[in-house]
Amino acid sequence: MAQEILSAGIDIGTTTSQVIFSRLRLEDNSYTAVPDVKITQKEVLYKSPVYFTPLCDDGNIDAKALDRLLLAEYARAKVKREDIATGAVIITGESSRKQNARLAVEQLSAAAGDFVVAAAGPDLESVLAGYGAGAADYSEKYPAAVANFDIGGGTTNVAVFLGGELQDAFALDIGGRLVRLNPNHCVNYLSPRIEPLIASLGLSLQVGRKAELGELIKLAEAFADICRRVCLDEPLTKVEQKLYIGHGKRLGRLSAVMFSGGVAEYIKDTPVVSWDDILRYGDIGPLVGAAFWRVFSAQTAVQLLNSRERIRATVIGAGSYAVRLSGSTVMMDDELVPLTNVPVIRLEHPERPKALMQEYRLKRAVYPPHQQVAIALAGPAGGSYEELIKLADGLLAATAEVKQILLVVMEQDFAKALGLLLKHRGGGRQVICLDRIHAQPGDYIDIGKSVAGTVPVVVKTLIFKS
Amino acid sequence: MNETEEFVSDISLPEVKERVLIEHPQSLAMIKRLKKTTNARLGVGRAGDRYKTETLLKFRADHAIAQDAVWTDIDETLIDEMGFYKVQTLVQNKEEYVRRPDRGRIFSDVTMEAIKRDCIHNPDVQLVIADGLSGFAINANLKDIYAIMMDGFKEKGYRVGTPIFVRYSRVATMDKISEALGATVTIQLIGERPGLATGESMSVYMAYKASSKKPESQRTVVSNIYKQGIPPLEAGAQVVHLTEVLMREKKSGVELKI
């Protein structure tokens, strides 16, 4: 039994915006009465051109212009809004720090409705780009960790995969549009985030002043060399370490890398030397790409891999990979969804009802009382009936005063059983219980209507630098 | 236990199979990842053109578990504890059970009369617990799956019949019991034919108005129920869900498009 759904991916970046539509094929491969549904095929049906993100004079996103642009793309792709079953809108790069980004997304009628995923943080962006570029798929056949560096206008987003599984994600303030130039070779924008680096390199780049080509190349090579040292786990200076957004790398040495993002279009064996190349976009993107090529092709410690997508990696990741399926035996009520941006509380000690109650109250207090939250668990360790009863009663007691849906996501395959007990012992509580979902504290989740017995879920990791 | 025995590892433990026996693999991580995707005996290396001793012993140990599961009479302590009604097919012992599947499907007239006399008639749900080819499977899974099924049936308000344990039973005994008691949905828990992966795997067969006049395709099945397969609790919750579907659709097996 197979079913096909349409998924949209919308990427609103610092520099560029794009849309893709893809078709996901869901198949039930079980031969008994227990379904086993998996996404068996992902086909990108339509890729929009890469547009410059429309901005107002004040530098904020022009929501109306963006909406018109997106609606025109729906029409061009011959896709109706109501046919889209799921999808994700991602605000990427520097714009995720712009205050109006979230507001702008909320105003998008082109993205309105059930599937919308709001602004995402740099970690999720890294992950989506890594999936879209093909690093996750490649890592299934590769014996070591595979990293994707998505180098955009504002940030470089890195995701590390091993055996198809995400191992690490982080981002750096490295990008092609952190320095912008006018046709007279004058710097008309310089990101404050890289000012300390420029100073430490002894460069004289300044807004309003003519830039020396040699200095721009030095900066571009510094970017590339920082990334090389990140790969090899070689030390960074204090100034360089500050380029990490929010947090640094957690894993050790990386053995293979691929590149995506707009700058990656220029990571190739054709040297960029002239001002003409640079002024085509009015930024240092081509120089950064060329510097990455020089630095990474001159070393052999890290293997260079070809990415499947470059500038479209993130949007394809958003459209085709953001959505995960829950396990096939769950407790679900389609009347209660879609739910979007539900914050996750993770309980580490759910096995003892008293500890569960304490932990729940402590973690729940962070959110306003009317806020719907999701409770994330690993699952019962032993899996006996007595253990599950204890867990169910613990959850019911802890959430007794809450009026919202009792929403539990767990890793182990016990959702239908736990859901049954929660309903049976909960006296009419609304219950959604999903499994095969791994969510961390600080994550947000979206839950869509069930498809072929499983539930599409988007787990969003939002880590902003405060 | 004497001193030397302390150092003999138990070859029948499942974790023994997780070991990679290839010497100097190019990528140990890769083989381990590959092994996680299957129960098959991959990455075992070789001695000349044969198995290594450990592989051969492990294979034999697993086969012995399967043999034991088939040939050991079920320990009925748990069945007695749970107070199930107990009957036996025409089969008299394990040997006959294996040789004469036909006799494992039917009861004597006396037994049929006793079932009719002692058990609840016209239940919504009739449970049949059968030893099948592995009594180990019943004892490993029964308690958890039974408890959650009962919660589910209570929640739905179903009238549950007298649970019946059948010794030396094949799947088809559920049809006879269903006919005798006029059950709407009959659910049979039965020990699966053991493979070389586990002797504790159980199946649940379900049928709407099960009857010996209907073909085998009348049954809906949930299989592979054991700790490392579908956990018994989750399987039980799925059986409750399927019972609802069978009741609503008034059919089961291949006729039912789930």
From B27, B151, B240, residue closest to A143, measured CB to CB? B27
A322 Cα to chain B: minimum distance (Å): 24
Question: What ipTM was predicted for this assembly?
Answer: 0.82
Of B151, B224, B237, the CB nearest to A416: B237
Interface check A337 vs B, CB under 8 A: no
Rounded Cα–Cα distance for residues A106 and A52 (Å): 20
List pLDDT tens digits, range A224-267.
Answer: 999 999 999 999 999 999 999 888 888 788 889 999 998 999 99
Q: Is A64 strand, coil or helix?
A: helix
Contact A416 B224 (CB under 8 A): no
For residue A49 the two structure tokens come to 């051109």
**Which of A33, A35, A329 minimises the CB distance to B234?**
A329
pLDDT score of B212 more than 70: yes
Of A163, A413, A424, the CB nearest to B234: A413
Task: Select from A32, A163, A421 the Cβ nearest to the Cβ of B33.
Answer: A163
- Tell me which chain B residues have a C-beta less than 8 angstroms from the C-beta of A417: 148, 231, 233-234, 236-237
Chain B residues with CB-CB distance to A under 8 A?
A: 26-27, 29-30, 33, 143-144, 147-148, 151-152, 154-155, 206, 220-224, 227, 230-238, 240-242, 258
Retrieve residue A171's tokens. Answer: 């981002």
* A-chain residues near B206 (CB < 8 A): 33
Count of pairs with CB atoms under 8 A, one residue in A, one in B: 75
Give a three-class secondary structure readout of chain B. Answer: CCCCHHHCCCCCCHHHHHCCCCCCCCCHHHHHHHHHCCCCCCCCCCECCECCHHHHHHHHHHHHHHHHHHHCCCCCHHHHHHCCEEEECCCCCHHHHHHCHHHHCCCCHHHHHHHHHHCCCCCCEEEEEECCCCHHHHHHHHHHHHHHHHHHHHHHCCCECCCEEEECCCCCHHHHHHHHHCCCEEEEEEECCCCCCCCCCEEEEEEECCCCCCCHHHCEEEEEECCCCECHHHHHHHHHHHHHHHHHHCCCHHHCCC
Binned at pLDDT 50, 70 and 90, residue A114 comes out as: low
| Residue A421: closest C-alpha in chain B | B151
pLDDT value of position A112 = 55
Instruction: Please give the Cα distance from A353 to A399 (Å, whole number).
Output: 12
Q: pLDDT, tens digit, for every residue of B228-248?
A: 889 999 999 999 999 999 999
The chain B residue lying nearest A412, using CA atoms, is: B231
Contact across the interface for A33 and B222, Cβ inside 8 Å? yes
On whether any CB of chain B is under 8 Å from the CB of A143, the answer is yes
Reported confidence tier of residue A425, pLDDT bands at 50, 70, 90: very high
Are the beta carbons of A33 and B238 separated by less than 8 Å? yes
Are A383 and B144 inside 8 Å of each other by CB? yes
Q: Report CB contact under 8 Å: A144, B33.
A: no
pLDDT, tens only, A144-188:
889 999 998 888 999 999 888 888 899 999 999 999 999 989 999
List the structure tokens of B27. Answer: 């990528």
- Categorize the per-residue pLDDT at B89 as very low, low, confident or very high, splitting at 50, 70 and 90: very high
Q: How far apart are CA A100 and CA A114, in angstroms?
A: 22
Q: Is A436 on the interface with B (CB under 8 A)?
A: no
A262-299 tens-digit pLDDT: 899 999 887 766 888 888 889 999 999 999 999 999 99
CB contact under 8 A, B151 and A388: no
CA dihedral B160, B166, B169, B171 (to 10 degrees): 0
Residues in chain B: 258
A415 contact residues in B (CB cutoff 8 A): 234
Burial A72-102 (b: 16+ CB within 10 A, else e): ebbeebebeeeebbbbbbbbbbbbbbbebbe
pLDDT confidence of A115, banded at 50, 70, 90? low
Q: What is the pLDDT of residue A29?
A: 78
Tokens of A277: 């190349």
In this structure, what DSSP letter does residue A263 have? G
Shortest distance, CA B60 to any CA of chain A (angstroms): 29
Token look-up 């304490």 returns A358
Q: In this complex, which of A34, A35, A417 lies closest to B233 when CB atoms are compared?
A: A417
Residue A113, pLDDT score: 52
User: Is the pLDDT score of A463 beyond 50?
Assistant: no
- pLDDT per residue over A42-61, tens digit each? 888 999 998 988 888 877 78
User: Tell me, what's the pLDDT at A111?
Assistant: 62
Quick check: A383 and B233 CB within 8 A?
A: yes
Provide the shortest C-alpha distance from residue B29 to chain A (in Å). Answer: 7
Of residues A94 and A330, more confidence is placed in A330
Identify the closest residue of chain B to A1 by CA–CA distance.
Answer: B258
Contact A83, A121 (CB under 8 A): no
Q: Do the Cβ atoms of A33 and B258 come within 8 Å?
A: yes
A461 pLDDT band, cuts 50/70/90, is low
Answer whether A161 touches B (CB < 8 Å).
no
Residue A465: which pLDDT band, with cuts at 50, 70 and 90?
Answer: very low
Whole-model pTM: value is: 0.79
Of residues B232 and A122, more confidently modeled? B232
A33 and B227 in contact by Cβ < 8 A? Answer: no
Q: CB A414 to CB B29 under 8 A?
A: no
pLDDT at A464: 34
CB neighbour list of residue A309: distance below 8 Å, 6 or more residues apart: A132, A133, A134, A260, A316
User: Nearest C-alpha of chain B: how many angstroms from A310?
Assistant: 28
Cβ contact, residue pair B221, A32, below 8 Å: yes
- Mean pLDDT for all residues in chain A: 86
Query: Å from B219 to nearest chain A CA?
Result: 10
B29 vs A contacts (CB less than 8 Å): 143-144, 163
Non-local (6+) Cβ contacts of A117 within 8 A are A87, A88, A89, A90, A318, A322, A340, A446, A458, A460
Q: What letter would DSSP give residue A206?
A: -
Stretch among A24-33, A193-202, A209-218, B133-142 having the lowest mean pLDDT: A24-33
* Chain A residues 15-74 with a CB less than 8 Å from chain B: 32-35
Residues of A in contact with B155 (CB under 8 A): 420, 423-424
For residue B237, list chain A residues with Cβ-Cβ distance below 8 A.
329, 331, 416-417, 419-420
pLDDT at A373: 93
Angstroms from A38 CA to nearest CA on chain B = 15
